[in-house]
Structure 1
Amino acid sequence: MNIQSRTERMAGQETPERKRSGQGDAEMSLICLSDFEAYAKDHLPKATWEYYAAGADDCCTRDDNLLAFKRIRLRPRMLRDVSVTDTKTTVLGTEISCPIGIAPTAFHCLAWPDGEMSTARAAETLNLCYVASTYSTCSVEEIVTAAPDGFRWFQLYVYRDRKLSEQLVHRVEALGFKALVLTVDVPYTGKRRSDIRNNFRLPPHLKVKNFEGVFEEHCGPDNYGVPANTLDPSISWKDIYWLRSLTRLPIIIKGILTKEDAELAVEHGVQGIIVSNHGGRQLDGELATIDALSEIVDAVQGRIEVYIDGGIRTGSDVLKALALGAKCVFIGRPIVWGLAYKGEEGVRGVLQILTDEFRLSMALSGCRNVAEINRNLIQFSKL
C-alpha cells in the first residue's frame, strides 16, 4: 500500500458538505492525537476531563510515560525501497491490520452517549484489538451486539467475592471474547487528587453495566461505581492457577514492570504481558512503561508475547515500542478524546491517524513491514 494516507490526501480539501455543516475548519484542525486531546479538554465537563486525565499524586509517572519516548532517537536506514509497506501483524495468532490496540479504559459513556459500543464498532471497522474494561458503562453483551465481528479481549479484576470475577469470566468466554487481561496493579486504588477534590461520581443515569443489579442494595461509599473495598488486595501468583482453572481463554497479565515479575508470569503459564503502569494512575514515581520494556522482553526470551501501553501519542512512538520488542501497543486516553469529538467517527479518526503515522514512520526508517523493525533502529538519548 502506498504510504500516502487518506488523512493526507484530504488535507486542504474543503468539501461542499463540510462548508454547509460548518465543520470543515474543526475537522481539518484535528490532524494529530494532541489536537483531539485539546478538543476533549475544551468540551468535556471539568470533573469528567480531570477523571480521564488524572494521574496519581504528583502525576510524575503519568507525565514521564510521555517524556520517556522523547528520550529515544531513531536510526533510520536509507535506499530500502519502501514503495510498498505493510502494517499487519498478529497477536496470539490473530491477524490485525496494525500493531495498535485499544487499552481497557472505564466509563466511555461519560464522553459519548453510546460509549463502549462506539469504541467497539471503530475497532471492528479497522480490524484492531479492543480490550473491554470491567468498568464499562455498556455491558459486554451490548458491546458484542454493537460489533459482532470484532476482535475483543476482556480486562478483569479479582474481587473479594470471587463469584463476581468467575461470573464475568464465564460471560465473556460464552460471548466470544478471545483472551482475559488480568489487571494486577490495583490491590488498592491510587490516590488521584483531582477526583478527590471533585468528589467524582458517575452521574445517576450511568452504571458499571457489567454489575447491573449486583450492588443495588448497597448504600455505603463507593469507589468508581462499585462499593468501596470490593477489590481483593490478597491476590497473588497462586490466583493465576485459580483463573486458569476457570477458563480455556489465554491469560494476559497487565501491570508488569520488572523482569522478576515477567519471569514469574512465564512460570505461571500466562500467554502474554502488558507492560503497564496504569497510565500513571496507581503508584506515582514508578518506571515509565517504555523504560521498563526492554528488560521484560529480554526476560521472557520470546516464550510469551509482550505488549505495552502508556504514553503512545505518535506513529514514531509505536515504532520505538516495536523496536524494543513489543508485539503491539495499546492506547487509552486518546480513545476517550476521540469519543468526545464525535463518537465512533472520532475513535476511527484517532486510530487512523496513528496508523497512518506509524506507516509513514516505518517507511522513513527503511522498514517495509513489521518484521523488519528491530533494536538497531533506536538509540537512547542522554537528555
Structure 2
Amino acid sequence: MDAYEVLGPLGKGSFGSVSKIRRKEDGRVLVWKEICYGHMQEREKQLLVNEVNILQKLKHSNIVRYYDRIIDSASYKLYIIMEFCSGGDLSQLIKKCRNDRVYIEEEVIWRTLIQILSALQEIHNRKDGVILHRDIKPGNLFLDENRNIKLGDFGLAKILNINSLYAHTFVGTPYYMSPEQIQEYPYNEKSDVWSVGCLIYEMACLSPPFEATTQAILKSKIQAGRYNPLPPQYSENLTKIISMMINTDQSRRPNVDELLNTNFLAIRVKERKVQQYYSNLKQMEVDLKNREKLLIERERAVLVREQQIAQKEKEIMEKENYSQNRMNIQQQQQQQPQMMVKPVYSAEEERMRSSSENVPFQPYQMKRAYTTPLNFK
C-alpha cells in the first residue's frame, strides 16, 4: 500500500470501486480496483479469484494489463492494480456523440472492431483453455492516450477446458446478451462475437440494436434478431459484418478467426499489422532515445560521484601527510643530542678565570671590630 499514492476516484467496476494511483518508485500512473470481500458470498469470491487468475495470464496490446494485487487482511480488501487508460471508455464516447448529434466515423468503427477481435482472438485461442469474457459492452472497452482499444473488466469471464466446451451460467449485460445466453442454453465463444456485433451496431447508431422496457420484451427481441438498419452514411460492408455477428443461429455465426479472414477485414488487418510494425519501430526509437538519455544522466551522476570521491580522497591524503610530517618532526627532535655551548671570554677574563680556579677556596670570615667611644670633653 505504501508503494502507491491515490490520486482520485475513477468509477466502479464489477465488485468494486476504481481509483487512479501513482507508483512511487517510478511515477507511473496506474489504477487499482478496490474490492471489499468481507461480506461476499462464496460465488462472488470465486468470481473475484477467477478475475485475478485470468488477468495474470493475459498480456496483449488490446487487453488492459495486470500489474499486481495487494491483500489487506485487516480490512478484508483486495486491490487489483492495472493499466491506466487515459481516454476513458467507449460508453463515454458514444454518449458524447449522441449528445452532440454526430456520428462516429466509419474508419474509427472498423479500427475498433479489429482491435476488439484481436483481443478476443487472444483469449479464445489459448492452449490452456478458452476464456469467455461474457460481458462485452461499451463500458468495458477502454481507450488509451492513442485511442487504442483495451478490453477490460474480466469479472464475469469464464475459462472453458476441453471437457467443458459450453458454459451454462446466466451472466452479462442484457442488452448485449446472445440468444443462447438469454434463453439459458449452452453457449461458447460465439456469444462474445454476438456482443461485439451489438457493440459495433451501437457505435454506428448510437443506441443498442435491442432495447426494451422489460426483461421479457428484451428477451423476445433478441430471440427474433430484428433491428433497425444502419444510418445511410455507413457502407454495405459494415452492415454485412454486423449482420454476420448478430446472427441468432449460433452454428452459422462466425468465430473470431473466421471474421478476421473475411475479405473486408483481412485487408484492414494487414494494414494494421504494417502500421503496428512501424509504430513498434517508432516506439523502439523512442525507447532507445530515452534509454540513451537515462544512460547519459547516469554517466554524469557517476562522474560527479567519482569527482566527489577523488576530492574526498585528496583531502584525506593531505590530512594524512600533514599528520605524518608532524610525527616526523617530533621524532627528529627527540632523537637529536643536546650540544654544550662553550662561552667565549676575553683574554683578561680568561686570565682572571684561570687564576681564580687555581686559588683554593677559603670561606670568608667576618671579623668583629671593637671601637672606643669618642669623648669630646
Q: Determine which structure has greater relative contact order: mean sequence separation of CA pairs < 8 Å that are 6+ residues apart, divided by chain length.
A: 1
TM-score, scaled relative to structure 2: 0.24
Of structures 1 and 2, the larger Rg is shown by: 2
Q: TM-score, normalised by structure 1?
A: 0.24
